[in-house]
Amino acid sequence: MELKQATAGTMESGDIMIQITPADHEGLDIQLQSSVAFQFGDQIREVIRETLTGLGITKADVHATDKGALDCTIRARTTAAAVRATGKDVWKE
């Protein structure tokens, strides 16, 4: 699947900013910046990974800046960034 660079989310409290860029390597490289990464970093990365693979994206660099987002917000922002990156409207399928 062809990707272009895309971003979704804000830097506001309770949100997360997801940036997706094309990768020249296999797999998802997820970089996370979060004040709660020690406690919840693995969970945040897993939600991002599950969301992207569920949308068919398996080759991308992802930079996430978390400001205390819940899992539902992480999924929504990741999905929005994926839609922008692929041009594929996941809500019409």
pLDDT tens for residues 31-59?
999 999 999 999 999 999 999 999 999 99
pLDDT value, residue 88: 85
Residue ranges covered by each domain of the chain: 6-86
Q: Residue 93: is its pLDDT beyond 60?
A: no
Mean pLDDT, range 54-75, rounded to an integer: 96
Round to whole Å and give the CA distance between 33 and 50. 19
CATH topology assigned to domain 6-86:
Ribosomal Protein S5; domain 2 (3.30.230)
Q: Which residues, at least 6 apart from 65, have a Cβ–Cβ distance to it below 8 Å?
A: 9, 11, 16, 17, 33, 34
